[in-house]
Amino acid sequence: MNKIVSKEYLSPNVVKFEVEAPLIAKARRAGHFVIVRVGEKGERIPLTIADANTEKGTITLIVQKIGLSTSKLCELNEGDCITDLVGPLGKATHIENFGTVVCACGGVGTAPMLPIAEAMKKAGNHVITVLAARTKELIILEEQMRKFSDEIIIMTDDGSYGNKGLVTDGVEMVLKRQKVDLCVTIGPAIMMKFVSELTKKYNIPTIASLNTIMVDGTGMCGACRISVGGKTKFVCVDGPEFDAHQVDFDEMLIRLNGYKDIEREQLHKIAPNT
Amino acid sequence: MTNFNEERMQPWRVELRNSMKPKDRLAISRVKMPELDPEYRCHTMKEEVNLGLTPEMALMESKRCIDCANPTCVQGCPVSINIPKFIKNIERGEFLEAAKTLKETSVLTAVCGRVCPQEKQCEAQCIHLKTKNEAVAIGYLERFAADYERDTGNISIPEMAAPLHKKVAAVGSGPAGLAFAGDMAKMGYEVVLFEALHEIGGVLRYGIPEFRLPNKIVDAEIRNLIAMGVHFVTNCIIGKTITIDDLLAEDYKGIFIGSGAGLPRFMNIKGENLVGIMSSNEYLTRVNLMDAANPESDTPVIKGKKVAVIGGGNTAMDAVRTARRLGAEKAMIVYRRTEQEMPARIEEIKHAKEEGIEFMTLRNPIEYYGDKNGRVTHMLLQVMELGEPDASGRRSPVEVKGKTELVEVDEVIVSVGVSPNPLIPQSVKGLEVTSRGTLVVNEETMQTSIPYIFAGGDIVRGGATVILAMGDGRKAAKGMNEWIMKQNS
């Protein structure tokens, strides 16, 4: 049982939790994730760690309400406990001074990008962040990202904030004007696919942090498997970060939708009329 | 050490032995395990198929054992249970004594009475087989004694040594870790068992379905260990949440690794990542650990109508029988050799057949096809035939050139084995690992290349049975105790 010490809405569907987990706070590195479970009949879902405070012994999780389990989690309040929390899982991000790093993040993907941008900045990189969302109110963590970015480019689909356009438009703007040594991209699979296609064209090494379906998160089940360079890899133990240019995003997109029908049925449990 | 012969010559044993002629004992036919009706049990998820012997049945079966001077059955048991002693205790009506006898050398008796491959171990060595009779049903009797003890609320806690005030850790709460913990606690150690998942029991919980091993049986064994003073820590991954060095800093004197064979193998054939194709680990974890078949559970599971399970082991049987219970109209085993070569227990194969499972032997999948949504719709099977015996002594399957079959499926469960969990070998520097990813140990003591680390179960064996893992855990407890004692002297 892990107690929630604070809860904050970043946007109508995105919640930031600070959760007591002293051991994880101490052990986690950028790129790591945890598995959480809410309730005795709850599902195990992976969430990337957005931040940690070793003094307070807390980790920060940023959750977007998408399905049943994320909605249940978002219903919890300060003082409530998360039934199960385990981690840190996965391999940490490989951090070094690459030179110029573009962090391309979309929507709630900004949350797992935060510790990576921080680590990249601390390693001496020139960090350019492209922060994208559908509309202004879905842009999250802008202030925090600014702290670790030498430059920040905001993109909204509807032009309600920053530049009008997709994340790829922002990234391409950078690639056209200057030399970039590495691109890191986190967001919806479809977004990462297009970022990857773009950077491939410009021949920029690119890392994508993948968010697949998982059950145990420790390598046991294989639900998270994807194809990387034609080989099957497990996101939970081989990842979650991979060479984006080698990832079969189309297959990943199909696999992510594998339980959509069942999930839609299950949502009736919390909102019978939807 | 138990002196088998001395115990055999105790007056009650002699008297009991002489009360019936061996010929008359032999004349009794082997008991049949009462089972749930196959048609009924296909529609019930959690009811155990084997119902267990009644006291009358157990008494009768116990009489079949002639209490021979050289009980070879004991040699067939990986943990050397004093088999004649427990059976003769049943015969004299001392069922609780029988249970105690089992616990002298085993910790998970109700589990082993259910899932041990007795027909390949103790029962395979029974003297009756030499005279062309059926072996004594040792496994059924073991289960009977263990269940009797539990169901009558008379669970005995083994005799415990005085506390040593020394801490040891076990990593993984499967059969190896549980056995290790039990033995170390008995010797007076303070044992803390770390489990990565949110429930205790390892494969006993996530792998073996309730129709073969009900959760309440596992719960009882765990309660027993808690009563013995073993501490359990769930949601904690050694090497991730805390490191081996953290444990050493907290004054743990020894660490036992029983992290199991985590990684499922796939066949790396075309279409294997289509939706609806998964490992038996995933399928069984969803249904067993996450209770996905229960409408109240948040975890989804695909309930296929035409389900193929690839493989011929016990896990494959568990998966295919689960699929049947989840409503599969057609549930198939696809196995590349024949039924004779199947590694699954005979009982599992028999139960599967009774439940209407189709056996497609001498078939091997070579490609899967899906629809526009990426869901599997068909599998292409290569027809095989048996060739020359391979290294394992089994006749190896070879392709019948050009002969394939296309079979409609909507779910495929791949159950072709597992690899050791890489988390520990990856996170502990200096730990010697084989090319297969298993840990190298001294076979006598189960000590690894790092002196304070011992290991057992599938992380060492790569994929074996509950009882072998348990045996390893016990061996490691003995080895670690001796090593710790030597450090102090």
pLDDT at A51: 93
Question: pLDDT for B282-302, tens place per residue?
Answer: 999 999 999 999 999 999 999
User: How many angstroms separate the Cα of B3 from the Cα of each of A255, B7, B78?
Assistant: 59, 6, 18
Q: Does A39 touch chain B (CB under 8 A)?
A: yes
Question: pLDDT for A152-210, tens place per residue?
Answer: 999 999 999 999 999 999 999 999 999 999 999 999 999 999 999 999 999 999 999 99
Contact B422 A215 (CB under 8 A): no
Per-position b or e across B154-173, b if 16+ CB within 10 A of its CB:
ebeeeeeeeebebbbbbbbb
Paired with A6 in beta bridges are A18
Collect all residues with Cβ–Cβ distance below 8 Å to B285 and sequence separation of at least 6.
A215, A216, A220, A221, B206, B207
What is the distance between the alpha carbons of residues B53 and B56, in angstroms, rounded to a whole number?
8
Chain B: closest CA distance from residue A80 (Å): 18
What is the distance between the alpha carbons of residues B259 and B236, in angstroms, rounded to a whole number?
12
**Residue ranges in chain B modelled with pLDDT below 50:** 1
Question: pLDDT for B468-477, tens place per residue?
Answer: 999 899 999 9
Q: B98 by DSSP, 3-state: which?
A: helix
pLDDT at B5: 87
Q: Which of A212, A51, A236 is nearest to B426 (CA)?
A: A236
User: How many angstroms separate the Cα of B344 from the Cα of each of B115, B210, B293, B316, B467?
Assistant: 11, 17, 25, 8, 15
Smallest CA–CA distance from A234 into chain B, residue: B263
What is the distance between the alpha carbons of residues A86 and B238, in angstroms, rounded to a whole number?
11
pLDDT over 70 at A269, yes or no:
no
Chain A contacts of B275, Cβ < 8 Å? Answer: 254-255, 257-258
Give the tokens for residue B7: 């115990």
Q: How many CB atoms lie within 10 A of CB B392?
A: 9
Mean pLDDT of chain A: 93
What is the distance between the alpha carbons of residues B265 and B281, in angstroms, rounded to a whole number?
10
Model confidence, pTM: 0.93
Q: Does B422 touch chain A (CB under 8 A)?
A: yes
Q: Does B168 touch chain A (CB under 8 A)?
A: no
pLDDT at A267: 66
Contact B423 A221 (CB under 8 A): no
Q: B177 by DSSP, 3-state: which?
A: helix
Chain A: closest CA distance from residue B263 (Å): 5
Contact B266 A222 (CB under 8 A): yes
Chain A contacts of B296, Cβ < 8 Å? Answer: 41
Cβ contacts below 8 Å, chain A against chain B, sum to: 126
pLDDT at B2: 54
| Residue given tokens 């920060």 in the structure block | A60
| Domains of chain A, first to last | 2-89 (2.40.30.10), 100-257 (3.40.50.80)
Chain B: closest CA distance from residue A92 (Å): 11
- In terms of Cβ atoms closer than 10 Å to its own Cβ (0-12, 13-18, 19+), residue B375 is middle
pLDDT at B1: 43
CA angle B36-B38-B41, nearest 5°? 65
Percent of chain B having pLDDT more than 70?
99
Contact A216 B302 (CB under 8 A): no
Paired with B367 in beta bridges are B270, B380
Q: Does B427 touch chain A (CB under 8 A)?
A: no
A43, A72, A234 ranked by CB distance to B299: nearest = A43
Smallest CA–CA distance from B267 into chain A, residue: A232
> Which amino acid belongs to residue A147?
K
Q: Which of A39, A48, A28 is nearest to A81 (CA)?
A: A39
pLDDT at B234: 97
